[in-house]
Amino acid sequence: MADKGRARKVAERTKVLMAQGLDTLVKDPRLGFVTITDVRVTGDLQHATVFYTVMGQEADREAAAEVLEAYRGRLRTHVGKGLGIRLTPTLEFVLDALPEDAAHITDLLRETAKRDAELAAARKENNYAGEADPYRKPRVADDESEQDSQ
């Protein structure tokens, strides 16, 4: 079993090699704008999960998934030659939901800002139920007030 540091290094190198392989090996026009976002390698270096995003609509995502599956063997060969380790990890492609999650978070932040603005507007219209300053103030002695006036 490899240590975590080696698995991390293999994952980073696999990410770079995958990006190069997509650029040089895959000549299918259906691939579109694919970005390798992350690669995770198991501790024994036998399996690599490649996370990717695709710019475009759902049809573009499906086409990119088909192309990646079709070129899996060639990409694995390219990664194996570049890594130079005894066993080449198997590749699994997973569509990363990062852009959708980011859009959802942006929508939530926009809704929160809208509600905050509504609360601020309502807060300006409200008045105190009693006096503006409800705390008691200490009484000033008569001789202190006379000394202050002199």
CB 94 within 8 A of CB 68: no
pTM of the model: 0.67
The pLDDT value recorded for residue 97 is: 78
CATH 3.30.300.20 fits 4-95, yes or no: yes
Residue 140 or 144, more confident: 140
Which pLDDT score is estimated for 126? 77
- Residues 33 and 26 sit within 8 Å (Cβ to Cβ): no
Once rounded to an integer, what is the mean pLDDT over residues 119-145?
74
Flag whether pLDDT at 86 surpasses 90: no
Task: Give domain limits for the chain.
Answer: 4-95, 98-126
Q: Between residues 133 and 68, which one has the greater pLDDT?
A: 68
Average pLDDT, integer, range 104-111? 91
CB-based contacts of 32, cutoff 8 Å, min separation 6: 54, 55, 56, 60, 63, 64
Q: Do residues 54 and 37 lie in contact, with contact meaning Cβ atoms separated by under 8 Å?
A: no
Position of tokens 């609360």? 119
Percentage above 90 pLDDT, the chain: 35
> Where are any strands of DSSP class E within 1-150?
33-41, 47-55, 90-95
Per-residue pLDDT reduced to its tens digit, 41-69: 998 989 999 999 888 888 888 888 999 99
